[in-house]
Amino acid sequence: MYVMKKFFVLTVLFALPIVAYLFFVSGKNNFARLPILTEDVSEISGLTTYKDEPVFLEDHISVVAFFGEKIEDLKGNTFNLDKKILEKYYAFDDFQFVIILPENAKASAADFIKEFEGITNAQEWKFVFGSPDQIQKVFNSFSSPYQLSEDSYSPYVFIVDKSRNLRGRDDDDEGSLYGYDSRDIAELTNKMNDDVKVILAEYRLALKKNNAERKNN
């Protein structure tokens, strides 16, 4: 009896860490790389900004939105996105929120920023402007199943890594998840928040590994 108890205890002590490990790595995107769905999306440095300072996707972790001409109609979407997801991550180096708009939306976007400055992190948002053709080209480079409207709008926001790869889920309930619906608070809170954490953790771990290797050399 004593031998059996001892064997049982040893088995539990040995198996428990393995079971715990398998549990965590089997969770959606926990402790794993966020899948690359599209490689080499278009750079946006050719689009204009308020200060004529180019914005780059390269070497940044970017959340990218295509919010169209009628940005004033998207106050709820933008507020939810900022409060539920983005404000947690602005302090991270190289993280940015990029909003791509048609050139004729510059005035309304400026008013939009002023209205939101007191209640959100609007000063962290990077607005870039282009022609409908330029915006369509960038959107098409994501190779997502979504469509851009005639006024350059999509409700979906996207995660782009430092190498300009589109990240998302290749095992979502409905197939691959290329973007996150900014109208859906549950999707932002449960899926996008998790995925932003994963990609930031991925880069932090890579940085720690590189620093450790330098110290050992």
Confidence of residue 210 (pLDDT cuts 50, 70, 90): low
Task: Using DSSP, state whether 156 is helix, strand or coil.
Answer: strand
- pTM value is 0.82
Contact at 8 Å (CB) between 57 and 41?
yes
**Per-residue pLDDT tens for 25-71?**
344 444 478 999 999 999 999 999 988 889 999 999 999 999 999 98
C-alpha span between 9 and 7 (Å, rounded): 6
Confidence class for position 112, pLDDT limits 50, 70, 90: confident
Range ranked top by mean pLDDT from 7-11, 16-20, 140-144, 168-172: 140-144
Task: Measure the CA–CA gap between 37 and 176, rounded to whole angstroms.
Answer: 8
Cα–Cα distance measured from residue 25 to residue 62, given in angstroms and rounded to the nearest whole number? 25
Nearest one of 70, 38, 93, 62 to 154, comparing CA atoms: 70
Query: Of 194, 209, 206, 204, whose CA–CA distance to 34 is shortest?
Result: 194
**Tokens 């490689």 -> residue:** 39
DSSP per-residue codes, 92-127 = STTEEEEEEEEGGGHHHHHHHHHHHTTTS-GGGEEE
Domains observed in the chain: 35-216 (3.40.30.10)
